[in-house]
Amino acid sequence: MSATTGYFVAGSSWLHRRNPITKLLGLAFILLAAFLLPPIVLIVLAGAIVLAIWSAGLLRSAARAMRIPALLLLSILVVNAFFFPGATDKLASLGPLSITVEGLTFGLISAGRIVVAFLASIAFLFTTLADDMLEALNARGASYRISFVILSAVQMVPRMQERAGSILEAQQARGLSLEGSFGRRLRALIPLIGPVILGSLVDVRERTFALEARGFGARPGRTAYRVVADPPIDRWLRILTIGACVAVVVIALTGIVR
Amino acid sequence: MTTASLLEIDDLAVGYPGRSAAALDGVTLHVRAGEQVGVTGRTGAGKSTLALSAAGFLPRVVRAKLGGRVTIDGIDAATAAPAALLGIVGIVFATPANQLSASKLTVREELAFGLENLGVARADMDEQIDATLVRLGIAHLGEREPFALSGGEQQRVAIASIVAMGTRILVLDEPTAQLDPAGTIAVAELLAELSRGGSAVLCVEHDPNVLGRMDRCLVLDAARTVALDRPGTALAAAESAVELRAPTLVRLALAAGLDPAGAFDEPALAAALLARRAPTTAATASVDPDPPASPSWAPVRDRDPVHVAIEDLVHRYPTGIDAVRGISLTIEPGESVAILGENGSGKTTLVKHLNGLLRPAAGRVLLDGDPTDRRSVADLAGSVGFVFQNPDEQLFERSVEREVGFGPRNLGFPASTVAASVAGGLAAVGLTDQRATNPYDLDLSRRKLVALAGILAMDPAVLVLDEPTTGQDADGIAMVGAVVEAYRAAGRSVVAITHDMEFAARFGRIVIMRSGVVVADGPPREVFSPAHRELLASTGLTPPPAARIAALAGLEEVPLDVPDLLAALDRR
């Protein structure tokens, strides 16, 4: 992940070519459907997302990214399968512990929702440049200042990570030991976190001045250099997605499908 | 008939809230179109305040009480509307990465950022961007990612981003402080190009390589103007008025009885020195051979010297690229070694192996014959002290004294030794009177000295310094030099990475790196000799000024300072 492009994976697939707002709406639809509709829908959603990721040539990157939530998913599954409160329908026993049908079902559904949400989010992040998102939101009347600040904050993450690495090195070189008792490790956090905050404040001052010198937010009537593609089909896709979102909410509220 | 001034600073006085001393007091400076004016002086003299005033940041962006007047292209800065100065004046600071908007994919888009804020029509942007890139000689960078550029390239892009907005008055606050020699010269040449195009340039600097190229130079001391003249003349006047150590070339001209105004024209200076018939012995005697006496360091405990051996060291990045490609070096106790080379040549990667911050892909590091591969960084910290380039990545305590005591406490020194080490460390960097100050209330150059004191107090057998002189004024450089010498003399060893050739010339030994290997290793007189000129050039380096003048004068010897050079000329 780089300081400028974040999670973006360069490419020109059909998913890359969609307008950021279209993709944002699509993401919203998937999240609504995953959490509001009956769990059986998760299978369809997951299949569709994987297909989309595969057709955009991002399967390998997505598989790599899945390593991040893998442990979380596994623990959700295991904890629920063994310790679901009030479950009685035992499937198999392992000494004093038993896997219950209720627990396993609940674990699978929870994990499935997280998988779908995560895959949809990375499909969005992999194919959308933060700057395009910024311009697209701005073109739709969102405050450029606020969008820019949010974008900058997101882009601070890799910078902070790099910085945290340097701080760790510098303090270890001053004899800071990260081993020993819990209390000792806890105390070791102060010299590590202190410079992250204090040093960033120094940076922020200079960065603020630099933005000021470039006229950031000084005048109304800002223009845009980046042209964010918005093919005609995106317009129809957006109408369709908004309609689908409304449908999901209506279905969930009225309980037509259970 | 004089050209009208684009920037007029008249009788400027600045005071910051909560501080009794004035930041500037009665400073007057006019900068004409096509003129480059340098600003220099000690740390805390008011240089940055002058830069911020000239850019119209006071009192609009930074709160301050102003007296006098700052007129920027006819607009009174005190009453200007927030957007009125956009596209008229711009400012660039020292840290390259902080000058960029941080969100742009290409240099072109980075340049467009200012145009967007000005509201320039999309159809006109490309033309304006192209014109700027071509004019500043960086068209080849147009499609590159700003964050992937070198520091020198980033600073040129930052300047271009300001210039693209149509800005004719450019203010810079130590723009080359973090650049290597090649990057520094590239920025200086770009400023010259801008002034030829009719821009007014005001540049705060310590580096004589940049100051010497300015048309005029303003020297500030304690908030007041000391001198304002051609660079050589102004720097010479400042030395006699406020003992601000003048650059070597100026001191050389003065010692030889020449007009310091021409000191930065090196071929002319060399010719004048050769043409001079009068013996220079009298003049030589008046030249102070060493930097002014400064507080120095003395050990507070006995420790055994440590012998360092690096054997066939290879370091490979996760990307598979070898940053260090087979280096063998030994460093004896009592030795001082300066490591030179362009950014990216592997210098920092190499020295990070000395205290285990990095582990070799092949080869090994031995301290007194024992391999370091199984020892932790915290354990090695007692033997090898490492002072990082950026102090803001380690300072966290509420007082300078506590900060300096952090390392010795970690090493488990008894309380009395901690106190003595802290006192010794602070005295060595001249910060004894700041012991109760919060480190972040000091400026960057003094925060760097706090970080240095923090390692000195740990009394390691090997002291490793990464760019210890960046941002330091002449006094600060002399102080760091004195620490290096005192440390070495106490039987410890010092390894320093530096871009400052004059600082490097004080070391007993110089190692030059290029693309991950050592290409030269020897005493300064050997490494800086004319025989090595092409090798030096291939690494973006030039010999220190005295050696350059000697080479221009056709001398065989390689003098490293002014008395040396004058003596060599006499012997001719």
Q: Kindly report, residue by residue over B164-193, the tens digit of the pLDDT.
A: 999 999 999 999 998 889 899 999 999 999
* Three-state SS at A162: helix
| Pairing of the two strands B24-32 and B509-514 | unpaired
For residue A136, being part of any structural domain is answered with no
Asked if pLDDT for residue B289 goes beyond 70, the answer is: no
Strands (E), B244-390: 308-316, 322-331, 336-340, 362-367, 370-371, 384-387
Exposure of B289 by Cβ count < 10 A (0-12 exposed, 13-18 middle, 19+ buried)?
exposed
pLDDT at position A219, please? 81
Determine which of A123-137, A197-211, B271-285, B367-381 has the lowest per-residue pLDDT on average. B271-285
Tell which wins on pLDDT, B318 or A108. Answer: A108
Give the side-chain half-sphere CA count within 13 A for B441. 12
pLDDT at position A257, please? 60
Q: Measuring CA to CA, which residue among B254, B218, B308 is closest to residue B509?
A: B308
Q: Do A218 and B82 touch (CB under 8 A)?
A: yes
Q: Do B117 and A206 touch (CB under 8 A)?
A: no
For residue A27, being part of any structural domain is answered with yes
Query: How many residues are recorded in chain A?
Result: 258
Residues A118 and A240 occupy one common structural domain: yes
Asked if pLDDT for residue B290 goes beyond 80, the answer is: no
Q: Measuring CA to CA, which residue among B261, B242, B243 is closest to residue B253?
A: B261
To the nearest whole Å, the CA of A27 is away from the closest chain B CA by 23
Question: For residue A134, what is the nearest residue in chain B, using CA coordinates?
Answer: B103
Q: Tally C-beta pairs within 8 A across A and B.
A: 183
**Quick one: pLDDT band at residue B285, thresholds 50, 70, 90?**
very low
For residue A135, being part of any structural domain is answered with no
* Three-state SS at B426: helix
Contact B222, B228 (CB under 8 A): no
Return mean pLDDT, chain B.
Answer: 92
What residue type is assigned to position B285 of the chain?
A
Exposure of A43 by Cβ count < 10 A (0-12 exposed, 13-18 middle, 19+ buried)?
exposed
Residues A195 and A153 occupy one common structural domain: yes
Boundaries of domain holding A30 = 7-128+229-258
pLDDT at position B277, please? 65
Angle at B427 between CA B425 and CA B432, to 5 degrees: 105
Residues of B in contact with A194 (CB under 8 A): 395-397
pLDDT tens digits, A141-193: 888 888 888 877 777 777 788 888 999 999 999 999 888 788 888 888 889 99
Give the side-chain half-sphere CA count within 13 A for A126. 25
Give the highest mean pLDDT range of B275-284, B294-303, B362-371.
B362-371
CA distance A151 to B325: 39
Write down the architecture of domain B33-62+85-244 according to CATH.
Answer: 3-Layer(aba) Sandwich (3.40)
What residue type is assigned to position B196 of the chain?
R
Asked if pLDDT for residue B500 goes beyond 50, the answer is: yes
Asked if pLDDT for residue B48 goes beyond 60, the answer is: yes
Q: Could you report the predicted ipTM of this complex, rounded to two decimals?
A: 0.87
To the nearest whole Å, the CA of B357 is away from the closest chain A CA by 6
Give the side-chain half-sphere CA count within 13 A for A17. 10
Residues A111 and A155 occupy one common structural domain: no
Residue whose structure tokens are 């995953």: A34
CA distance B457 to B419: 9
Asked if pLDDT for residue B56 goes beyond 90, the answer is: yes
Which of A194, A207, A215 lies closest to B83 in CB terms? A215
CA distance A219 to A221: 6
**Quick one: pLDDT band at residue A92, thresholds 50, 70, 90?**
confident
Contact A40, A257 (CB under 8 A): no
pLDDT at position B231, please? 97
Question: For residue A174, what is the nearest residue in chain B, using CA coordinates?
Answer: B407
Q: What is the dihedral of CA B147, B88, B228, B503, to 10 degrees?
A: 0
CA distance B333 to B336: 9
Write down the architecture of domain B308-530 according to CATH.
Answer: 3-Layer(aba) Sandwich (3.40)
To the nearest whole Å, the CA of B271 is away from the closest chain A CA by 44
Bridge partners of B40, per DSSP, are B219
H/E stretch holding B521 reads strand B517-522
**Quick one: pLDDT band at residue A91, thresholds 50, 70, 90?**
confident
pLDDT at position B174, please? 94
Q: What is the dihedral of CA B174, B178, B182, B183, to 10 degrees?
A: -70
pLDDT at position B65, please? 93
pLDDT at position B1, please? 41
To the nearest whole Å, the CA of A169 is away from the closest chain B CA by 6
Q: Do B458 and A175 touch (CB under 8 A)?
A: yes
Among residues of chain A, what percentage have pLDDT more than 90?
Answer: 41
Q: Measuring CA to CA, which residue among B92, B89, B73, B93 is closest to residue B30?
A: B73
Q: Measuring CA to CA, which residue among B483, B405, B466 is closest to residue A175?
A: B405
Asked if pLDDT for residue B392 goes beyond 50, the answer is: yes
Q: Do A214 and B117 touch (CB under 8 A)?
A: yes
Which of A2, A166, A223 lies closest to B120 in CB terms? A223
Contact A56, A123 (CB under 8 A): yes
Q: Which residues, in sequence order, are CB contacts of A66 under 8 Å at separation 6+?
A: A118, A119
Give the mean pLDDT of B466-474.
Answer: 92
Give the mean pLDDT of B137-143.
Answer: 93
The reply to whether B308-530 shares the fold of B33-62+85-244 is yes
Asked if pLDDT for residue B25 goes beyond 80, the answer is: yes
User: Would you kindly state where each structural domain of chain B is located, as residue ranges?
Assistant: 33-62+85-244, 245-287+542-572, 308-530
The total number of structural domains in chain A stands at 2
Phi, psi for residue B269 in degrees, rounded to 5: -65, -45
